[in-house]
A and B are shown apart, each in its own frame.
Chain A
Amino acid sequence: MNTTRRLLFTAPLAAVALGGAAFYTILERMEANKYDPHALPSPLIGKKPPAFNLPGLNGAAGFANTDIAAPPRPMLVNWFASWCLPCAEEAPMMAQLAKTGLPIWGIAYQDNAAALANYFAQYGNPYARLALDTPGLTAINWGVYGVPETYLIDKDGIVRWRWAGAITDDVLANGLNPLLAKYS
């Protein structure tokens, strides 16, 4: 067998092996929660959030984009809803993060006051400030495509990170914590 023939026989085999290895890596990373094929990069990263001004709960003050334009330290904006199961799952994580002194501002997506009161009674309220996006149009301007979604905003008011879905211990350790250290 000359080298050309050997190459012709081994090349398809090598291609299949390479494809298999790549597929296996993807599956393993998915299992370890390190890769989500449905996750989208946010176009907001590296930019300031779009202009908005949302009301608070029961006539309380909400907040506007100008309030998060230059926070004294990095902060999170957490989009959530009382009707959203992963948000309830994420609630202990939010409480834990709030306890470390990290400011978390909440925006309730397509929600109402009574349901929110129930939600906070059950899971606690970790939010330093709360705003309501009842029509859900500010969410569209942010590119939010589901709740919960969490945005890290640095001291210049620039979005540095977006996580779609509940923040788990893995996400905290590998995603959020290194960035918090970098931008504080």
Chain B
Amino acid sequence: MRKLLLLLVLLPSLAVAQTVTRDGVTLSAPQEQRAEAIGDQLRCLVCQNESIEGSSATLAKQLRVIIRQQVVAGADDKSIMDYMVQRYGIFVLLKPPISPLTWLLYASPFLALALGLLFAWLARRGTVAAPPPLDAAEQDRLERLLKS
């Protein structure tokens, strides 16, 4: 009876202790989630439109192992990202950071909007406004001109 009670008390710890083994590294479920979130933000350098998480390239697999080892060792997300950027440059980030190199990229929607507004303004300015209605004297003159 006491043994059964002990088992029941320990049961919830199973959920916490649940481990995942991915690419040969064993880590807890939340750690694996963190590792996946990091890997999703990194570009596989071999097949450049895939993330490290989604690629089957050998290099991507090795980088997945490195990410998981660092997660298990307690490294924070930023230091793992820095590790990758230090080796492969900012191109490894699927979402590039705002830097002088990417200013034009991030400014492009606003530039396009400004250009559009400029053209809209030019187009409005280009149309000639209808003249004000003629008064009686002008109407007379117009009729005389048309008749002659």
Contacts and interface: CB of A to CB of B under 8 A. Distances in A.
B123 A140 contact: no
Contacts of A140: 59, 62-63, 66, 87
Contacts, number: 47
5 contacts: A11-B119, A136-B58, A140-B63, A140-B87, A145-B45
Could you tell me the dominant secondary structure of chain A's interface residues?
loop
A4 B126 CA distance: 6
Interface residues of A, number: 20
Given A2-B126, A7-B122, A8-B126, A141 B87 contact: yes
A11 B91 CA distance: 34
B65 to A, nearest CB: 10
Contacts of A136: 58-59, 62
Interface string B10-38: 00000000000000000000000000000
Interface string A143-171: 10110000000000000000000000000
B86 interface: yes
Nearest to A141: B87
A121 interface: no
A41 interface: yes
Contacts of A5: 126
A32 interface: no
B62 A145 contact: no
